[in-house]
């Protein structure tokens, strides 16, 4: 992880995505979250958000045991 992308930044983008996706009675998967993070990173204007999303996707991919 680069020094300018902190764990706090990564968890913040994960939290933002989960909050946007979460709906009552809906089952949310790591794949749903990862896809939304990827989309958020692709559309983000700021380099810091893009980098945090990229790191978050890698973190979740490790949780799913998928090498990136």
Averaged pLDDT of the chain: 89
Q: How far is CA 50 from CA 9, 24, 40, 65, in A?
A: 11, 28, 8, 22
More confident residue, 7 or 1: 7
- When pLDDT is averaged across residues 44-64 and rounded to a whole number, the result is 92
pLDDT at residue 1 in the model: 47
> E-strand spans in the chain?
none
What's the CATH architecture for 7-63?
Up-down Bundle (1.20)
- When pLDDT is averaged across residues 24-52 and rounded to a whole number, the result is 94
Residue 3 clears pLDDT 90, i.e. is over it: no
Tell me the pLDDT tens digit for each residue of 14-37. Answer: 999 999 999 999 899 989 999 999
Domain boundaries, the chain: 7-63
């Amino acid at each position: 992880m680069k020094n300018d992308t902190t764990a706090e930044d990564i968890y913040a983008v994960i939290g933002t995505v989960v909050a946007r996706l979460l709906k009552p009675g809906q089952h949310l998967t790591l794949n749903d979250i990862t896809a939304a993070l990827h989309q958020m990173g692709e559309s983000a204007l700021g380099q810091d958000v893009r980098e945090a999303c990229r790191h978050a996707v890698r973190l979740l991919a490790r949780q799913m045991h998928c090498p990136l």
